[in-house]
Copies of this chain bind each other. A is one copy, B any other.
Amino acid sequence: MSLEVGIKDVALRAGVSPATASNALSGARPVSKETRQRVSAVAEAMKYRPNLVARALRRQETKTIALLVGDISNPYYPAVARAIHDRIGAHGYVSFIGNTDGDPEAEVRVLEEMRARSVDGVIMGTMALSSERIRSVVGPTMPLVLLTGEALESPEHQVRQLRADEVGTDDSIGIREAVAHLRNKGVTDIGYVSGPLGSIPGTDRLQRFRDAMEDAGLRVDDRWIGFASGYTLETGYDAAERLLAPSDRPAAIMCANDLIAIGVLEAARDRGLVVPTDLAVVGFDDIPTAKHVSPRLTTIINPATLVGYACADALMRRIEHPDVPFEHTALPTHLIARGSA
């Protein structure tokens, strides 16, 4: 005598077989209008809710996806997560969130867990794992969207090898805008604080910076390149300390994300440097806090909500049409000038 009402209970009370009850409710097969209405009424009256675990086992689809990010408490991600959540929710999906802290072993472990839970797809903001490795863990057919910090240039064949859709941002736009903005103000001694050396988004973004500098005819001084050991305010602070110590410090510092940039801001203040006069600072992401630090952070807008929607759309498309060509979406980034540069 369980408290849950199952399809059998509904069928019994409606005087039909479980199969017919199922079909009446799902519309999978034609059912006489009369019985359909009766079954529906009974189901509603009994507050029948299909057991989604059983349905998942039978249908071999869980209506579940995994969202794997470095750290959900990093303020950039909640906006992405929220957008994904809303969009997939409209398709009847819910998501598991996994934090990996950028640790390769954790990434593998969480991926395996999600695979064991038979998620219908994975959206992964990888920090450490290569796409091949990810693919090898989730199996050859799992719908997979890579949330790359940076949309890699995509020769057709490479995307095909990944057998994954990619969503990212075209970081070079915003980074070039930032470099141009600084140069217009007459600052050419530009440094950069990247994320951890091994991390994928960090490395790519740094390369975009180098390219932008070169194209602008500016020299990048390697002593002015710093590596934060994480993507946090504290690690940004520490990295800035090293860059700002020498007497020939840079006149501007661009950063791999806003948290790092805010750390740089604090480090500058603690050294008695006035921003932006003594030191200009440019962030990346435009997290909500960016508007409220002092001076307000000049940064590069990373359209988190659009990124989330694009991820969700790509995954839904892949699940529904496994064989359409893999796509590679790059959302534009743009500089927003505020007080810090």
Distance in Å from the Cβ of A142 to the closest Cβ of chain B? 10
Q: Note all chain B residues with C-beta closer than 8 A to A3.
A: 139-141
Is A180 interfacial (CB 8 A cutoff)? no
CB-CB under 8 A for A53 and B49, given A75-B75, A94-B117 = no
- Please classify the interface of chain A as helix (H, G, I), strand (E, B), loop, or mixed, using the class held by over half of its residues: mixed
Is A210 interfacial (CB 8 A cutoff)? no
Is A37 interfacial (CB 8 A cutoff)? no
Q: Mark A96-108, 1 if CB is under 8 A from B, else 0.
A: 1111000000000
* Docked-complex contact B62 and A73, CB < 8 angstroms: no
Is A85 interfacial (CB 8 A cutoff)? yes
A interface, CB within 8 angstroms of B: 3-4, 49-54, 56-57, 62, 71-75, 77-79, 81-82, 85-86, 94-99, 112-113, 115-118, 139-141, 233, 262, 266, 288-289, 292-294
List 18 contacting pairs A-B, 8 Å CB cutoff, sorted by A. A3-B139, A49-B116, A52-B118, A53-B53, A53-B117, A53-B118, A71-B82, A72-B85, A74-B78, A81-B97, A82-B99, A85-B99, A94-B96, A288-B289, A292-B292, A292-B293, A293-B293, A293-B294
